[in-house]
Structure 1
Amino acid sequence: MLENNKINLEKDDLEIFLINHLDKIYAAKSMLVSELPQILDNAYFSDLRGAIYETVEDVKKQMVRMDEIYQIMGAAVSEGNSNGLKGLIDDSFKDIGLHSSNPELRDMSILFYLHNIESIEMASFQILEMLAVKLKNGRIKQLIKQNYEEAKADRTLLLLINAKYISTV
């Protein structure tokens, strides 16, 4: 209910919301960990290979933090309805595959989609961090903020690589 411009939800509802949306991000990250290494060796730009490797390592750390959040909340990872982000990632890898005969264009596609995925994750982590504040759980807030900061750093790296290669085209 909206009262005095504030959302007044029960703590249980907020926790369920947080877990449901954490599940969606977790499913997407699981997919990235399995899919990104497959394109790592095929990346044409050496900077991109490094960025993909760094992204995979960061995603693994983020998943460990998310596992801790699940543990704190007494919840388990659920596949549930995670088609949104997973669908985006699946579509991204299909589009990347369309450019397999043109390494430069393929790498630009990789950069484009990874940048978009990181942006969505950043936005998601920002909202979940606000929820953690509302739930008055400092540890969960800290873990989510660390994931946000890593996603932000990865997105910035991808943007810089994009700018480098687009400006040389």
Structure 2
Amino acid sequence: MDIELDADQLRNFFIAHLTKIYTAKTHLVSSLHTLEEEAHFADLKKGIRETINDVQKQQGRMRQIYDRLGAEVSEKSSSGMLGLIKDSFEEIRQRSGQPVLRDLAMLFYLHNIESIEMASFQLLQMIAVKMKDEEITRLVRENYEDAKTDRTLLLLITTKYLAASST
């Protein structure tokens, strides 16, 4: 099987999918501030705060990638990722009178979002290797590592949260 993909097609695909993640992260970081205030469990608040810091670092790296590629930073609508984030936060808002279930919903959806980001960064890293740009590869790898660390932190917080809950 012969697969033809030229450098411009690869670059354009990379930028388009980087933009989807960038847009989702922009929306996510603004929503996370609200979640941090509403979280009931202290470790969850701390985890959200750490996630906000990591997202801002990731966005900075993504802007460096845009610069390196000579592309404009764009926040084009990405209905798939944005839809998941909006649905997640709507579900969390519906639990506003139930702090324990609201925290559990926050953890559930933050896990889902982090998993998608990890997969996205992992694939973009593979594409960056194919593009033969070591700096872009490094920046995407760092974003992947941040997402992986955040996901692990969320798993630990969820474990602690469920262990602390009484049934």
Residue of structure 1 in register with 2:78 after alignment: 82
Residue of structure 2 in register with 1:104 after alignment: 100
Q: 4+ runs of 1 displaced by more than 3 Å?
A: none
CA distance in 1, matches of 2:157, 2:35: 17
Q: TM-score if structure 1 supplies the norm length? A: 0.94
Residue of structure 2 in register with 1:154 after alignment: 150
Deviations 1:102-132 (A, max 9, x none): 1010000001101110100000001000000
Runs of 5+ unmatched residues, structure 2: none
Deviations 1:37-95 (A, max 9, x none): 01211110000000000000000000000000000000012233411111110110000
Alignment of 1:104-143 (within 5 A): 104-143=100-139
Residue of structure 2 in register with 1:11 after alignment: 7
1:65 corresponds to which of 31, 41, 61: 61
Look up the SS of the partner of 2:74 in the other structure: coil
Moved more, 156-165 or 130-139: 156-165
Aligned length: 165
Q: Which amino acid counterpart does residue 18 of structure 1 have in structure 2?
A: F
Q: Which amino acid counterpart does residue 80 of structure 1 have in structure 2?
A: K
1:42 corresponds to which of 25, 28, 38: 38
Q: TM-score if structure 2 supplies the norm length? A: 0.96
CA distance in 2, matches of 1:134, 1:109: 38
Q: Which amino acid counterpart does residue 95 of structure 1 have in structure 2?
A: E
CA distance in 2, matches of 1:27, 1:79: 5
Q: Which amino acid counterpart does residue 17 of structure 1 have in structure 2?
A: F
CA distance in 2, matches of 1:10, 1:84: 27
CA distance in 2, matches of 1:40, 1:148: 23
Deviations 1:118-165 (A, max 9, x none): 100000001000000000000000000000000000000001111112
CA distance in 1, matches of 2:117, 2:102: 22
Look up the SS of the partner of 2:38 in the other structure: coil
Residue of structure 1 in register with 2:49 after alignment: 53
Runs of 5+ unmatched residues, structure 1: none
Residue of structure 1 in register with 2:18 after alignment: 22
CA distance in 2, matches of 1:80, 1:47: 34
